[in-house]
Amino acid sequence: MIAYVSGTLVEKTTDAVIVDVHGIGYRVEVPTSTFERLPETGEEAKLHTYHYLREDKEALYGFATEAEKTVFETMTGVSRVGPKLALSALSAMTPAELRDHVMQGDTSRLTEISGVGQKTADRLVVELQDSFADLDVFQGTAPISGGTQQRAEARQDALKALTNLGLSRADAERAIRQVLRTDAAVQSADELVRRALKESE
């Protein structure tokens, strides 16, 4: 079991990163929330990790906080909920928001997560409420080992602005992810909003 990966950030996209640990490059899949708090390439980074091992797949998933990792592990324990959907949930909502919507039975918000339909949302509420009841999902906003907090704050401001303009949270998240995938250096909320609106047209 690989509990965490700590080393030099060699490469990063909104979906995955490569961390060099003493000459070994670990490819780690990450949610958008973790990507936003990464430092620049060449700097040191530490990710809490979950080693996923099945007969047909082996992968390493990384998270900025223990709360994200715990939510990921809890979600993948639900019937027919795999890593891809769990990452989508953490890309669309913070652990605290996800817990609150599950505890409140707010399936309309859960269906805004990419890949979650009404039946899946209903199943998440039923199967996760007990597990989430006592879950500590406090999530700080500090960047990971040297990343700029400005980028994380800009994304949150852009997300709020886009939803105020009428986009669903899921559509706003997808548009922002596409902008960052094209140009990860964008740190202005205004620029994110402008380019995300073009992506959503």
pLDDT along the chain (201 residues), means of 10: 92 94 96 88 94 88 91 87 91 84 90 90 89 63 53 77 83 76 76 86 70
The token pair at 67 is 């709360």
Is the pTM here over 0.75, yes or no? no
Residue 191 in tokens? 């620029």
Query: Which domains are seen in the chain, by residue range?
Result: 4-63 (2.40.50.140), 66-133 (1.10.150.20), 149-199 (1.10.8)
In the numeric block, which tokens belong to residue 139?
Answer: 């999530």
Vertex 141: Cα angle to 162 and 144 (nearest 5) = 115
